[in-house]
Amino acid sequence: MGVIKSALEIALEKTEKVKGDKSSINQFEAKQRGKKLANAYMAGEVDLAGEVKKAAANDRESLKQGIFDVLVTQIALPSSKEDEERVEKLGKGLSVIIKSPEFPVMFNQLTQLFSQYIQESAHYEQMIRQQYAPKQKQKEEELSRRLGREVRIDPLQDPEFIAFYNQHIGALKGNYEPVIEQAKEEAKRMFEAK
């Protein structure tokens, strides 16, 4: 009759021949450090260029990969004019690790696209509010009549307006999203070209 082994004994037998690859562990840790650095950089807590220079030469590529992985996901449509500072910081951070001469030109075009999007979205919002105004007025009159006093409705508290707004702004975003994805791919290509 065979010997019954515990799960621990089986696991130990299977992992007995596996040895830790010190360099791959170091590369993984450097990449994780890079991700943390990128987040700290975007929060304004560290000098990214200085941190990259201080990194050990054999960890630098993995560190840069971690930084890139975080920063490239930050390429997104701005929600307001205040996001311009974040976008500028993002471009500077990416330029620390992307040395292609094409990158500043591409990112400048992307920044111009973001400005155009902000202007267009403000215009869309104004048009959406104008289109919805008659319906909002009708709702306010109906509520005022029922309650016996004047009622004003904040459109942002009206689920019907929110759905109408999201539908139209979603269409606008849909026009820009392919360009954002293309910019991310271009940044990746430039980063990998080193």
Query: Quick one: pLDDT at residue 20?
Result: 58
Query: Please, what sign has the CA dihedral across residues 47, 48, 49, 51?
Result: positive
Query: Quick one: pLDDT at residue 78?
Result: 92
Query: Quick one: pLDDT at residue 82?
Result: 86
Residues 60, 42, 44: CA angle, nearest 5 degrees: 105
121: CB partners within 8 A, 6+ apart: 169, 172
Residue pair 139/151 in contact by the 8 Å Cβ criterion: no
Radius of gyration of the chain (CA): 26
Distance CA 51, CA 47 (A): 6
Tell me, rounded to whole angstroms, the distance of Cα 14 from its chain centroid: 41
172: CB partners within 8 A, 6+ apart: 117, 120, 121, 124
Query: Quick one: pLDDT at residue 156?
Result: 84
Query: Quick one: pLDDT at residue 1?
Result: 46
The pTM score is 0.77
Distance CA 168, CA 184 (A): 25
Distance CA 47, CA 40 (A): 9
pLDDT in tens, the chain (194 residues): 456 767 777 776 776 665 556 777 888 999 999 999 999 999 999 999 999 999 988 999 999 999 999 999 999 999 888 888 999 999 999 999 999 999 999 999 999 999 999 999 999 999 999 999 999 999 889 988 888 888 888 888 889 999 989 998 999 999 999 999 999 999 999 999 86
